[in-house]
Structure 1
Amino acid sequence: MQSRRKLRFRLVVSFALFGFGLSALFAVAALNIRTRVEDQLVNASLLDDAKYSNHYAQEHPNAPGAGSRLITGMVKSDRTLYKAPLPWQNLGTGVHDIHEADPDDGGRIHHYKLAVYRENGIISFVRYDVSREELGKQQLLVSVIGAVFLFGLLSLAIGLWLSRKVLKPVSQLAQRLREFRRLGKAEPLAPEFADDEVGELAQALDDYAARLTSMVERDREFNSDVSHELRTPLAVIASTTELLQGSPDLTPKLAERLKRIERASRQATELIEALLLLSRAERRGPTRGETTDVAKVAGDVIESQRPQIRDKPIAVHLDVRTSVSVNAPASVLAVALTNLIGNAIKYTLEGEVRVEVDANGIQVIDTGPGIKPEDAERLFQRGVRGEGAGGSGAGLGLAIVRRLCELYGWQVAMRPRSDRNGAIASLVFG
């Protein structure tokens, strides 16, 4: 995963690197040009001075010698060349680099430019000490390097100042957005900013906020309408079922069907309440500070699932090891357990389904075909159904359970049994 840097940091670094690189390039170019020009000028001057001494000796053969117009030198003929230093005697016309010890400087090695000019038996030598020039080059190099770092620091300072100035409107926009979140209401952003790129971004955010607010309002109205329109007929069904169950001439078969209608009506009411909580992302506890008894809700859910057990050799057991209560509505817990226990009963063709309640939470253990370890997490995705699932389910049950658990801080998981075929669904209360 690539690291993400702040825009201001990237602007500062880019400006500083640009300034440093430009200064370094200028310094290298200046040193290179200075070295080339200096070398050409020194060579041309030394050779011209040697030529002057040579011509002067030819024109004035009896004169003691013109010497050097620049530095030090000597003029020899073929007969007196042996008096010149031995390393000079075989040098041809041109400028040569010589490194010799200077006895007047404690024997320290000096770097010289030696100009030699041969014509008509006369050999002239002009020696130029470039050690000082090299010292000057070193001093220039140190000065240029210092200037590069100075300009680099200056570029960094300018980059910091420019980035703060350039990004100030963006920071102000982010601050206003954070204030809207704290205050719980949004106000137009565009009027507070100039007509530039930041103002264009603010206008786009205003348009997006308007569309989002409209969508939220429509969703809220839809949830309220659905809640009202569905709860009213369900309340009628529940009250009518209750009246019918009190009838004295009620047959056992009809009484059983009325109980099924009552359970279905209650489950529908609980599901509507849970889905409304999810749509609003609202976590609500039971009324009047009461807590929900997990074992009682689990028992009610098992009873509501009895019709699924009919015509199946399945035994459903509730094992309450510890009394547990949760700070959540019974409807929310009932929806979660209905999906977990209902799935276990649906996938188990024979054997047993055991619901264990302990201090940590609930485990639903079945003897069905089981699940693959790699599919355990995927089953909680929307639209994913287990292998061998029958009926016309849409694969939303476990996804709803996961969302309810995230809302209340619970943990839900599925895993295969290790001792035999089957699966274990666990619900841990946080």
Structure 2
Amino acid sequence: MYRRSLRKRVAIAFAICIATLSVVWGLAFFAAIRLSEDRVLVNQLQRAAESYPSLTTNLRGYDEARSLPEPLREWGQTNPDEGLYEFAAEELHVAVVPVDNEQRNAFVVFDVAGIEAASSEDWWWLLLITGVVGALGVIGFGLGIVVMRRAVAPVWQLAKMVENIDLENLSAGDHKRIEASRFGDDEVGMLAETIEKTVERISAFVARERYFTSSASHELRTPITVITGALELLEQSELSTTDVEVVARIRRATLEMRTTIEMFLCLARETDDGLYEEQFLVMPLVRQAIDQQRYLLNDKSVDVEIDLIDIEIGDLSKPMARGHAQAFSIAVNNLVRNAFEHTLDGQGPITIHVDERELFITNQVRSDSDERHMSIEAASPNGYGLGLGIVQRLCERNGWLFSLRADEVSVAARLSW
């Protein structure tokens, strides 16, 4: 479609625009010069016609300064240098010419009275010229826009094609909308081809992601369900104390594995059928996380305090958050687990503050140098369980805010919605 490269087309466009403007301006100046010449000759001829049959000449020569017209005599006696002089008030132009081997000066006087335009006429001409110049400027600007639009039209077409692609819901055929073959072999064609291939790869990746999450969701949860069922059968049988403890550990490990699978599947999904816009109750999820992770405090003398700010005790109708309820449960479970797991014996209490817009979890740590180092290291994004980086990603996906503050005294995690 386009035989020349984009760089050459832009250069040609500039050259055409500049050449056209140069020709137009040259013609305008040439016309102005010719108009001025014709105007002077017409005025001079008209003045001569008015004095017919006694023709007078506007040019006169004077050999001495005292023979000059009265307004010029005093000036001529000052022995002016050779050159041209203008006396606007007297409407006279004077040329000083040296004669007699430059021993004295002669004078040529040109009387322009009636030839030069009046001041009011000059203003009209200035207004006309200004209008012409402005019109040429507008024409040049419009011409430049037209030429440049034609030069960069392929880029604009490519931008519109890319704009029409829904990046939030890529389909397998979205790459075909670009039609890189329409742009030839220039720079725009290369860019279109690259974008087309990139969108094609992204579309294929999204399709693989959807297939993986749909398949993995079933394939990974099935073994967990089987193990959970087997544990329920074991618990119904007569077990020794040691076996009961082993079954409890297996159940906790299974629960952690289920949570881990749900977490990674939640992060892997690009879309989740609008579940990121649902409203859900916060307190049931918080209490569920505390119950699931309470076993971590079995061998520790640590209390858990739940502070419901501006919320009546037992009122589960608030607070409410908006987003993915499963993602919120995963994030709260991770934060509660971190607090329970990294709080040492006797370093409680662990406080959980809940109000209308945020969840605040604080756990105490020791202040001596060894345990201070341990607590600060545990507070890093990669130090808690699966990592607070995962919690951060879940919050970003749902539009929540997450922050962590750690020092030698305490670690505080804040989750706002």
TM-score (norm 1): 0.65
Whether 1:314 aligns to 2:311 is no
Aligned equivalent of 2:200: 210
Give the one of 377, 395, 400 matched to 1:405.
Answer: 395
Aligned equivalent of 2:98: 117
User: For residue 145 of structure 2, what is the amino acid of its counterpart?
Assistant: L
Whether 1:255 aligns to 2:236 is no
SS of equivalent residue, structure 2 residue 303:
strand
Whether 1:175 aligns to 2:160 is yes
Worse-matched range after superposition: 388-397 or 111-120: 388-397
Aligned equivalent of 1:373: none
- Shift in Å at residue 337 of structure 1? 0.9
Query: 1:15 touches 1:156 (CA, 8 Å); kept in 2?
Result: no
Q: How does 1:61-72 map to 2 (within 5 A)?
A: 71-72=59-60
- Distance in 2 (alpha carbons) for counterparts of 1:255 and 1:272: 25
- Distance in 1 (alpha carbons) for counterparts of 2:414 and 2:379: 23
Q: How does 1:308-347 map to 2 (within 5 A)?
A: 308-320=296-308, 321=311, 322-323=315-316, 324=318, 325-326=320-321, 331-347=326-342
User: For residue 250 of structure 2, what is the amino acid of its counterpart?
Assistant: I
Give the one of 282, 287, 304 matched to 2:292.
Answer: 304
- Post-superposition Cα deviations, 1:354-391, rounded to whole Å, max 9, x if no partner, equal 12333334221222379xxxxxxxxxxxxxx9723299
| Identity across matched positions, percent | 28
SS of equivalent residue, structure 1 residue 90:
coil
Whether 1:279 aligns to 2:268 is yes
Indicate the RMSD between aligned Cα atoms, in angstroms: 4.6
SS of equivalent residue, structure 2 residue 251:
helix
- Distance in 2 (alpha carbons) for counterparts of 1:240 and 1:22: 88
- Distance in 1 (alpha carbons) for counterparts of 2:384 and 2:360: 24
User: For residue 303 of structure 2, what is the amino acid of its counterpart?
Assistant: A
Cα 1:271–1:279 change in 2 (3 A) is: same
Cα 1:261–1:111 change in 2 (3 A) is: farther
- Shift in Å at residue 299 of structure 1? 2.5
- Distance in 2 (alpha carbons) for counterparts of 1:340 and 1:218: 31
Whether 1:264 aligns to 2:245 is no
Whether 1:243 aligns to 2:243 is no
Aligned equivalent of 1:128: 110
User: For residue 171 of structure 1, what is the amino acid of its counterpart?
Assistant: W
Query: 1:23 touches 1:151 (CA, 8 Å); kept in 2?
Result: no
Cα 1:271–1:115 change in 2 (3 A) is: same
Give the one of 182, 191, 194 matched to 1:193.
Answer: 182
Aligned equivalent of 1:53: none
Q: How does 1:99-178 map to 2 (within 5 A)?
A: 99=87, 101-102=89-90, 110=91, 112-119=93-100, 123-129=105-111, 132=116, 145-178=130-163
Query: 1:20 touches 1:149 (CA, 8 Å); kept in 2?
Result: no
Give the one of 88, 93, 105 matched to 2:76.
Answer: 88
Worse-matched range after superposition: 188-197 or 357-366: 188-197
- Distance in 1 (alpha carbons) for counterparts of 2:92 and 2:185: 63
Query: 1:19 touches 1:152 (CA, 8 Å); kept in 2?
Result: no
Give the one of 340, 349, 373 matched to 1:352.
Answer: 349
TM-score (norm 2): 0.67
User: For residue 339 of structure 2, what is the amino acid of its counterpart?
Assistant: A
- Distance in 1 (alpha carbons) for counterparts of 2:274 and 2:182: 44
SS of equivalent residue, structure 1 residue 235:
helix
Aligned residues: 354
Query: 1:76 touches 1:124 (CA, 8 Å); kept in 2?
Result: yes
SS of equivalent residue, structure 2 residue 377:
coil
User: For residue 404 of structure 2, what is the amino acid of its counterpart?
Assistant: M
Stretches of structure 1 that go unaligned for 5 or more consecutive residues are 1-10, 39-67, 103-109, 371-384
Stretches of structure 2 that go unaligned for 5 or more consecutive residues are 1-9, 38-55, 368-373
- Shift in Å at residue 15 of structure 1? 6.4
Query: 2:228 touches 2:251 (CA, 8 Å); kept in 1?
Result: yes
SS of equivalent residue, structure 2 residue 174:
coil
- Post-superposition Cα deviations, 1:220-244, rounded to whole Å, max 9, x if no partner, equal 4443454344222212221111111
Aligned equivalent of 1:364: 361
Query: 2:335 touches 2:413 (CA, 8 Å); kept in 1?
Result: yes
Query: 2:58 touches 2:111 (CA, 8 Å); kept in 1?
Result: no
User: For residue 117 of structure 1, what is the amino acid of its counterpart?
Assistant: P
Worse-matched range after superposition: 234-243 or 260-269: 260-269
Query: 1:117 touches 1:123 (CA, 8 Å); kept in 2?
Result: yes
Query: 1:20 touches 1:148 (CA, 8 Å); kept in 2?
Result: no
- Distance in 2 (alpha carbons) for counterparts of 1:290 and 1:201: 40
